Amino acid sequence: MTGLEFEKPVRDLQEKIAELKNFTSSSDVDLSDEIEKLELRLKKLEDDIYNSMTPWDRVQMARHPNRPTTLDYIPFLFEGFFELHGDRAYGDDAAIVAGVAKYHGQPVTVIGHQRGRDTKENIQRTFGMPHPEGYRKALRLMKQAEKFKRPIICLIDTKGAYPGKAAEERGQSEAIARNIFEMAGLTVPIICIVIGEGGSGGALALGVGDRLFMLENSTYSVISPEGAAALLWKDASLAKRAAETMKITARDLRSLGIVDEIIPEVRGGAHRDAKEQAQLIDQVLYPAMKELQSIDHANLVDRRYEKYKRIGGYAEQTTGLNN
Amino acid sequence: MAIKNMFTKQKPKKIKYATIPSEAAKQDVPEGIMQKCPKCKKIMYTKELEKNLHVCMGCGYHYPMKAFERIESLLDEGSFRELDAELSTANPLGFPDYEEKIAADRKKTGLNEAIVTGVGAIDGHRAAFAFMDSSFRMGSMGSVVGEKITRAVEEAIRLQVPFIIFTASGGARMQEGVLSLMQMAKTGAAFKRLSDRGGLIISVMTHPTTGGVSASFASLGDFNFAEPGALIGFAGRRIIEQTIREKLPEDFQTAEFLLQCGQLDAVLHRKEMKEKLSFLLDIHQTGGVKQ
């Protein structure tokens, strides 16, 4: 298990317990009392540590190399996922996976960012940072979902849209903008779930919907903490501070009125057990799906508009100028 | 005088004083009578430059234009009615020093925020307008910019008139974090609403239009135009160079480059802007907004 820095006390204690257990089994001395005490202490320590995670700890958790990706969750959440490829104009971007499946027996379209799970796959999937053709593939399949009245589920997990020459030439900006624009008007329910990192416009291009959920240790931000620190304070090493100032955790977004619900994580993070995590996702996703399907299509788009219209913090000092 | 004395200094060294003009005298000198083009270095009278719509007479460089200068240069005289002028910036994330920065830019620019919106007319064709101003916090988009655009689009829907936006923005307003990101969704959704009701949308990208602004409403016109030489793109040049580990061409992410890549309908010189917009407004007269 790859451990994070803030989890070190937990790891140390776990090692100690393992040691004692080992000793007990290989000698006549019975230490089970001692072990029991330590295990109790471990539980308390875990509670303390995981309940007082700083935003920066959560950033580390969201970026954990073993954190489950879209393709890790799909088999636990859906039946018969059938991946579909290509934007019909340029190519197929492996940084976004999309396809049709069944969710509790109901046809749905599933779309998600896809990071690689090792270096080779990361190169093939450009680290989960899509090119325009990825967003255009997503849009093509969302339009298809609308035609056949299938709800859409988007799993968000990207550092951002790919910053490259080819991406700019093929219209990265336009591709993101177009997805935002079209998603705002789709007449089928759209549920978006941030499962890891929600990086800026590259995340939002799969993120306009009727419900936005975030896993407890995921983040969603306009820029990475490192980028923010470099830009604002000319020092990327202040990323830790930026992670707090920028308000990027699930809890922050909930209090800003952007996220509808936080999906709790398996103790110690989603990477501990992808299957159990999928169940926790399902417990929030399923009721939301049922609720949204009872709303008629025209209302759905209006409600979605009102949802986004409300987001923002400004001072209203209306005078006669505003009429 | 002995010859040897001719080579030595006789008098004590004269102390020279530089003339430093007093603060009052400084004020007397009119500032900016002349301007030097940052591109071709041609020196021009500011008055003439203004008359030439802030376009260099030597090389055609388009200077950034202030929101109200643009309104004056494009709209029928007296036709502009400003909307939501009083909408102003809060500090929703409690970001350190944000209020001070806003206050300083308010003082510097005389603007309340990085955008001016309203209703006006070009050659008698009514439309709702939004003019971004890069002199205010680099035209960055926070909650106020997003809200003002959204309200102006709603006004276009209400009045059944087209919507025209001039963009000039470095992207999202960092100090409003994810709230500024969400303005991309809010404005995008408003554009969709107007579009679905048959409304005409024209976007004119001016220097610079980058990041979250380029990746939302700026790219969502029925017609997407740009001014010559404008920098337009999603990711910054430095970041791309670091990613691909090669130098980018000089003209990368310019309006002309984007036109070649098929990302723009046309690059419009400032001098022909009014005429072209007027023509488009004219031919779309019958296709107003359906409620």
The string of DSSP letters for B150-165 reads HHHHHHHHHHT--EEE
Q: Compute the 3-state secondary structure of chain A and give helix, strand, coil in percent, each to the nearest 5.
A: 50, 15, 35
Residue of chain A nearest B149, judged by CA positions:
A309
CB–CB contact A174 B263 (8 Å):
yes
Q: Please name the residues in contact with B155: beta carbons below 8 A apart, sequence gap of 6 or more.
A: B83, B119, B128
- Please say whether the beta carbons of A258 and A74 come within 8 A: no
Report d(CA B162, CA B282) in Å as an integer: 11
Give tens-digit pLDDT for A134-189. Answer: 999 999 999 999 999 999 999 999 999 999 999 999 999 999 999 999 999 999 99
Nearest-neighbour CA in chain B from A231: distance (Å): 9
Write out the E strands in chain B: 34-36, 43-45, 81-83, 88-89, 115-122, 125-132, 163-169, 201-210, 223-226, 232-233, 266-267
DSSP state letter for B141: B
> Which of A171, A315, A321 has its CB closest to that of B89?
A315
Chain A residues with CB under 8 Å of B182 CB are: 204, 258, 308, 311-312
- Please say whether the beta carbons of A93 and A87 come within 8 A: yes
Structure tokens at A98: 């999309």
Residue B291 has what pLDDT?
46
Residue of chain A nearest B222, judged by CA positions:
A178
Between chain A and chain B, the number of residue pairs with CB atoms below 8 A apart is 206
Report d(CA B180, CA B98) in Å as an integer: 14
> Which of A172, A222, A252 has its CB closest to that of B181?
A222
ω into B208 cis (within 30 of 0) = yes
Q: Strand, coil or helix: what is B52?
A: coil
Identify the bridge partners of residue B203 per DSSP, sorted by sequence position.
B165, B224
Report d(CA B248, CA B240) in Å as an integer: 8
Within 250-269 of A, beta carbons closer than 8 Å to B belong to: 252-253, 256, 258
Mutate to test the interface with A, among B192, B194, B210 (most CBs of A within 10 A): B192
- For residue B194, the number of C-alpha atoms closer than 13 Å in the C-beta half-sphere is 33
Residue of chain B nearest A309, judged by CA positions:
B186
Residue A323 has what pLDDT?
33
Mutate to test the interface with B, among A142, A154, A222 (most CBs of B within 10 A): A222
CA distances from B178 to A175, A253, A313, B181 (A): 20, 8, 11, 5
CB–CB contact B191 A181 (8 Å):
yes
Residue A32 has what pLDDT?
83
CB–CB contact B192 A201 (8 Å):
no
- pLDDT lower than 70: segments of chain A: 1-2, 318-323
Mutate to test the interface with B, among A122, A174, A310 (most CBs of B within 10 A): A174
Q: Strand, coil or helix: what is B4?
A: helix
Please, what is the angle between helix A172-183 and helix B177-196, to 10°? 70
Would you say the ipTM is above 0.95? no
Give the mean pLDDT of chain B: 91
Is residue A164 less than 8 Å (CB to CB) from chain B?
A: yes
Report d(CA A320, CA A141) in Å as an integer: 47
Report d(CA A168, CA B253) in Å as an integer: 8
- For residue A175, the number of C-alpha atoms closer than 13 Å in the C-beta half-sphere is 28
Chain A residues with CB under 8 Å of B90 CB are: 313-315
Residue A42 CA from chain centroid, whole number:
29
CB–CB contact A163 B235 (8 Å):
yes
Per-residue pLDDT of chain B (291 residues; tens, 9 = 90+): 567 666 666 666 667 777 666 665 555 545 678 989 999 999 999 999 999 999 999 999 999 999 999 999 999 999 999 999 999 999 999 999 999 999 999 999 999 999 999 999 999 999 999 999 999 999 999 999 999 999 999 999 999 999 999 999 999 999 999 999 999 999 999 999 999 999 999 999 999 999 999 999 999 999 999 999 999 999 999 889 888 888 899 999 999 999 999 999 999 999 999 999 999 999 998 555 554
Residue A89 has what pLDDT?
96
